[in-house]
């Protein structure tokens, strides 16, 4: 199993939030730093990790690390 650290930022377009391409980071700390750098320029940013089994291409449930600003309703609320 390998851990992926991902950063998803959102731009405000009128009343809609538009997702930027997901960025991958090498560590949790780097993902948080990326999110903090993006936050002043975006409506919202989500940092999460996900375990992946590269042999079977199976993904575990994502784990939210950090939420900043406005995010789409219901996005990883669990």
Given pLDDT bands bounded at 50, 70 and 90, which one contains residue 38?
very high
Residue 75 CB-density burial (10 A; 0-12 exposed, 13-18 middle, 19+ buried) = middle
Per-domain boundaries in the chain = 2-69
Q: Confirm if 18 and 10 have CB atoms less than 8 A apart.
A: yes
**Token digits for 5?**
């650290």
Q: Confirm if 53 and 35 have CB atoms less than 8 A apart.
A: no
* Mean of per-residue pLDDT scores for the chain: 94
What sign does the CA torsion over 42, 65, 6, 78 have? Answer: negative
pTM metric for this prediction: 0.90
pLDDT for the residue numbered 1: 85
């Amino acid at each position: 199993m390998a851990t992926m650290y991902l950063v998803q930022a959102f731009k405000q377009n009128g009343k809609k939030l538009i997702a930027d391409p997901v960025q991958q980071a090498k560590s949790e700390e780097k993902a948080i730093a990326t999110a903090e750098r993006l936050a002043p320029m975006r409506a919202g940013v989500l940092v999460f990790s996900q375990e992946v089994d590269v042999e079977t291409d199976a993904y575990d449930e994502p784990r939210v690390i950090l939420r900043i600003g406005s995010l789409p309703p219901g996005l990883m609320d669990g």
